Amino acid sequence: MRFLLAAFAAGALLAAPVHAPRAALEARSLAFRFILERQIVFPMVIDGQPAEAWLDSGASVSVVDSAFARRIGLELGAPVNAHGVGGQVSDVRWAQADLLAGDLAMAGRHVVVMDLSAVQRKLGRPVEVLLGRDVFDKAVVDIDFQAQRIRLTPRADFAPPAADPLPLQHSGELRSVPIAVGGVVTPAIFDLGNAGGLLIDRQYADRNGFLDGHRLSTTLGVGAEGAREDTQTALDGVKLGDTQFDGVPTAATPNLASEAPANVGLQLLSRFRLTIDFGGDRIWLSPYADAQTRPFRKNRAGLSLAPDAGRLVVDHVARGSPAERAGWRAGEAITALDGRPIPAGFAASESGGWVFGPAGRTVSLTLADGQTRKLTLADYY
């Protein structure tokens, strides 16, 4: 899943109204939840109303969901011409709001308001506010995934670590890091809003032979612009900084809407303690002890699921997967797992986490019509 507000029409940022002075960023640590190693989530306040914030360095500006904006009475401004990973996003508007996350206070901040319902349906949980690149431009952001703590330090107060940083490059409105895929050095958007490992432009991958000789399947990519089918595989020899990884879950998508041909996400980034200085165009990567040995999460069922009132609805069946071989189809609904009903209100990541289980596990799934099917998990890409 990916929600990326990657670019605006020419002059859109310059045309935004001038806003009030912003409060200083405080250098204090706050706790976050790292949900199934897929999302960085923490409480915040917007215009005096509580909200759930998602950290997204791949969004070029902070974003508020349109339904949530209506609930809190956020006044909308001029339209914005924007697109996501898969294409144009409609009905996007400017707004102005006061943001408070822990001790990070930003008064009169301009944000964009857009419909994030497709992402919310897929995740089964609210996506109310995405804190984007505008936050990263103002502070040095330190993220300790093992301690689940985040610190935002004003750049004037930042003391750089003794280690050498990795350079950040400008890729349009965003920042990219150099990675190596099979020895080919490639700029990749640094994207804390990407729940996967690596997202790469399909045409670029084909030109460089990245997918040659690999088992290929399909996966459902979901963003603010809607759903799309991507090619899914796992790549060896992916190097980030001085650390090389094998078996990296990779989605190849057609016409990646970015000035960089790749996008590196949380499945890789969370293997490092990160110190991110967008203002200085640099980042420090400190790998954890198990960075190279910890297995990557892989869907071994081949089902993409979305929660729906005590059911899990099949959105997509991966090509060549155990689910496809067993005859599963999009639109079917699961009501129980191993005889236990799917609790209403569960997020897809909670109630559908079994799809990431070990190869060889067999699960019994009850469908809405009462029939029961068994499905044995296996590696298929």
Residue 40 lies in a domain: yes
Alpha helix segments (H runs only) across 148-257: 202-208
- Report pTM: 0.80
Half-sphere exposure of 286 (CA within 13 A, CB side): 12
CATH at residue 264: 2.40.70.10
Give the DSSP letter string of 68-92.
HHHHTTPPEEEEEEEEETTEEEEEE
CATH at residue 332: 2.30.42.10
Separation of CA 202 from chain center: 19
At 258 the pLDDT is 75
Same domain, 65 and 212: yes
Same domain, 288 and 319: no
Same domain, 312 and 258: no
Residue 331 lies in a domain: yes
Instruction: Give the pair of three-digit tokens for residue 105.
Output: 């206070």
Same domain, 17 and 119: yes
Residue 64 lies in a domain: yes
Instruction: Give the pair of three-digit tokens for residue 3.
Output: 């929600």
At 87 the pLDDT is 52
Same domain, 327 and 291: no
Residue 381 lies in a domain: no
Last residue of a domain, one of 281, 296, 311: 296
Quote helix, strand, coil % in the chain, to nearest 5.
Answer: 15, 45, 40
Q: Are 36 and 346 in contact (CB under 8 A)?
A: no
At 201 the pLDDT is 96
Last residue of a domain, one of 245, 269, 296: 296
Same domain, 286 and 347: no
CB neighbours of 14 closer than 8 A, spacing ≥ 6?
A: none
Q: Is 343 exposed, middle or buried (0-12, 13-18, 19+ CB in 10 A)?
A: exposed
Residue 353 lies in a domain: yes
What backbone torsions phi and psi does residue 155 show, to the nearest 5 degrees? Answer: -60, -35
Same domain, 163 and 292: yes
What backbone torsions phi and psi does residue 199 show, to the nearest 5 degrees? Answer: -115, 130
Name the domain count of the chain: 2
Same domain, 361 and 269: no
Q: Are 109 and 25 in contact (CB under 8 A)?
A: no
Q: Are 189 and 2 in contact (CB under 8 A)?
A: no
Last residue of a domain, one of 296, 315, 339: 296
Same domain, 205 and 345: no
Same domain, 280 and 309: no
Q: Which helix (H) or strand (E) element contains residue 197?
A: none
Same domain, 172 and 217: yes
CB neighbours of 326 closer than 8 A, spacing ≥ 6?
A: 373, 375
How far is 282 from 265, CA to CA, in rounded Å?
17
At 91 the pLDDT is 79
pLDDT tens for the 381 residues of the chain, in order: 444 443 333 233 333 333 333 333 345 677 888 876 778 888 889 999 999 888 888 788 899 999 999 999 999 998 887 655 545 567 799 999 998 876 677 888 889 999 988 777 766 677 899 998 888 888 889 999 999 998 888 788 888 988 999 999 999 888 999 999 999 999 999 999 888 999 999 999 999 999 999 999 999 886 555 678 999 999 999 999 999 999 999 999 988 877 899 999 999 999 999 999 999 999 999 999 999 999 999 999 999 988 888 899 999 999 999 999 999 999 999 999 999 998 765 554 455 688 999 999 999 999 999 999 999 999 999
At 103 the pLDDT is 64
At 195 the pLDDT is 87
What is the domain extent for residue 154?
Answer: 1-296
At 25 the pLDDT is 39
DSSP 296: P
Residue 153 lies in a domain: yes
Residue 341 lies in a domain: yes
Same domain, 125 and 263: yes
Residue 263 lies in a domain: yes
